[in-house]
Amino acid sequence: KGLVEFAESGVFIGPEVENLVNQYVNPLIDQNIDQLVLGCTHYPLFIDTIQAVAGQGVDVIDSAEAVARRTKDILMTQKIFRTETKNPYIKIYSTGDEKILKNVVSKLFFVEINNGQVELNFI
């Protein structure tokens, strides 16, 4: 199992995750890196473990904020960026496993599923 599989299973911490992060990061530390760029959308979910393994001498760079800014720019350019906040909700469609998706969504958004904030539709 890799970090992507852990994330998609809703497992973000624990000994298995830490062991895997050690396998990925320690060879880089041995090369005396001072910066580590997270190049996958799943990796920021493990940033605390990655930073702990990398140590204080390594800057862990999360590209998610830059991606979010670019996404906002595209939405604004296309005039489809929405700013109203009345009754906000998230609607998710998936062909995946319902139990796993509910677990991941509840952890990522800190909400209960189907409570008016998050609607899951399985197709």
pLDDT tens-digit profile of 84-115? 777 666 777 878 777 777 777 777 776 666 55
Say if strands 90-94 and 59-62 run parallel, antiparallel, or are unpaired.
Answer: unpaired
The predicted model gives 56-83 an average pLDDT of: 91
Residue 63: alpha-carbon gap to chain centroid: 11
β-strands 118-122, 35-38 pairing: unpaired
Q: What does the alpha-carbon distance between residue 120 and residue 82 come to, in Å, rounded to a whole number?
A: 21
Distance set, CA 91 to CA 61, 96, 97 (Å): 29, 15, 16
Task: State how far the Cα of 37 lies from the Cα of 62, in Å rounded to an integer.
Answer: 6
Give dist(CA 113, CA 93) in Å, integer. Answer: 13
Residue 69 has pLDDT above 80, yes or no: yes
